[in-house]
Amino acid sequence: MKELRIALAQIQPKTGCPQENIGKIAALTKQAAQKKAALICFPELCVQGYHREKARLAAEAIPGKSSLAISRLARETGLVILAGMVEESGSAKPFNTQLVAFPDGRLYKYRKTHLGKSELPYFTPGDSFPVFATEEARFAIAICWDLHFPEVSTIYSLKGAEIIFAPHASPSFVGDRREIWLKYLPARAYDNSVFIAACNLVGEDGGQSFCGGALVIDPKGNVAAQAFSGREELLVADLDPRLINTIRRKESASMRHSFFLEGRRPELYGELLKPSIPNPPPSPDEN
């Protein structure tokens, strides 16, 4: 990995108004370009707005009008842009997708693989874990609920990802976003020796309230940068590659810089492939 400056956006979209939302995306992307960022990540479903019941009507093809507009923006600014979209799936339930637009015109996507119970009636889950690359780093995407499943981050790390971007649409009623993120995102970063870069929708939209937040965790689980003002803003952070390179390239003899995944024993993990693990027998105290 090489030195990389990234930007994480907190944005307040308006459901059903993709052109207006793309206008906000453009303004923040241009700010990020002025600050010399190479990549910017926007929150989950920021293009059409996060509204489960209206998602099917808002869905677009990729490539399509909105994705091509974002692609042009990537060309104009020279940034890689990650933006959340409702993508047509060919069925009544669309995909919850994060578009990846490169400055050379390439368009890629990640489709959310783990859907919350409230999303299952409205979206189709994705079924793959792609890893993308720039000249500076290899990165992947896990959307919101995906981050609660440790296997996702582990797969990405094993496939070479050095950064996992985590776009969210987390509502205010679930509680303090920083406090919640700090319960599990540092573990994902530490166990897998990756950077985690998270951002969230913010403000009121369609009768919903989103709590915002942007956070960068380094490969040792430490907070590297954060912004929790509760308003639209841009967090710009420099990712120092020295630590992750030391770990991944085995440049240190100290166990404190171990790449833990090298010690995995996959032959013992067959139970992970079972739908459920039987309950253990009761302890003597329960008899």
- Nearest of 221, 235, 234, 141 to residue 182 by alpha carbon: 221
H or E segment to which residue 57 belongs: helix 55-58
Answer left, alpha or beta for residue 91, where phi above 0 means left and psi between -120 and 50 means alpha. beta
- DSSP SS3 for 173: helix
| Phi, psi for residue 154 in degrees, rounded to 5 | -65, -45
Superfamily (CATH H level) for 4-259: Carbon-nitrogen hydrolase (3.60.110.10)
Tell me the per-residue pLDDT of 166-183, one tens digit each, with 9 for 90 and over. 999 999 988 899 999 999
Tell me the per-residue pLDDT of 72-128, one tens digit each, with 9 for 90 and over. 999 999 999 999 999 999 999 999 999 999 999 999 999 999 999 999 999 999 999
CA distance 95 to 113: 9
Task: Please state, as a whole number, how many other Cβ atoms lie within 10 Å of the Cβ of residue 133.
Answer: 12
Task: Please state, as a whole number, how many other Cβ atoms lie within 10 Å of the Cβ of residue 20.
Answer: 12
8 A C-beta contact, residue 235 and residue 35: no
Residue whose structure tokens are 């689980």 = 221
Q: Considering the entire predicted model, what is its pTM?
A: 0.94
Tell me the pairing of strands 80-87 and 39-41: parallel
